[in-house]
Amino acid sequence: MAAAETLGVMGTLKFIDNLEDRDAVVQIALQLKEGLLTLGLLDEVMCNPRAFQRAFTQPPLQLTATDLANLFTPTMSPVGSNRRRLENRTVTHWRDWLLEVEEGNVDNVQLEDVLIFCSGASRVPLSGFPEPPMLEFFHATDGNSLPLANTCSVTLRLPLHADYADFSRAM
């Protein structure tokens, strides 16, 4: 059951009641083996099975506020600038807000929803994202005080709010 999701994606999670079904599953397994051989990964899996166990059999770990906060690298203004001061405050608001989401204090928002908004993915890939997720900032204006995301580059742009309540409403 631990591998049910992976087997389902591969098309092999089904009841086998005849030889044709069994042969189809064997063919899929052989194709997977050939793919792993092509990448040179099969030897690594065979030599270090415990290192790959999580990738092939265990469900993904529960996403936490700390995981999500640490996933994004902030792009900060120069130290000592007024903008940097606001960015630091916004990073603090961001982390506090994530904790509130994790604790269930934000209606209809889960940490997975935040990750989907930022990346399009409901969980962090085992190998990570192709590019490091970035956190950027912009001055909130009357026309746009909401966060923006680019799922292709996994970039989250947060509005700069001096007040946590304003930041939380925008989020």
- Name the residues annotated as catalytic: 152
Angstrom distance (rounded) from CA 6 to CA 121? 16
Angstrom distance (rounded) from CA 53 to CA 56? 5
DSSP tally for the chain: helices H, then strands E: 8, 4
Q: 159, 147 in Cβ contact below 8 A? A: yes
C-alpha 144 chain-centroid distance: 25
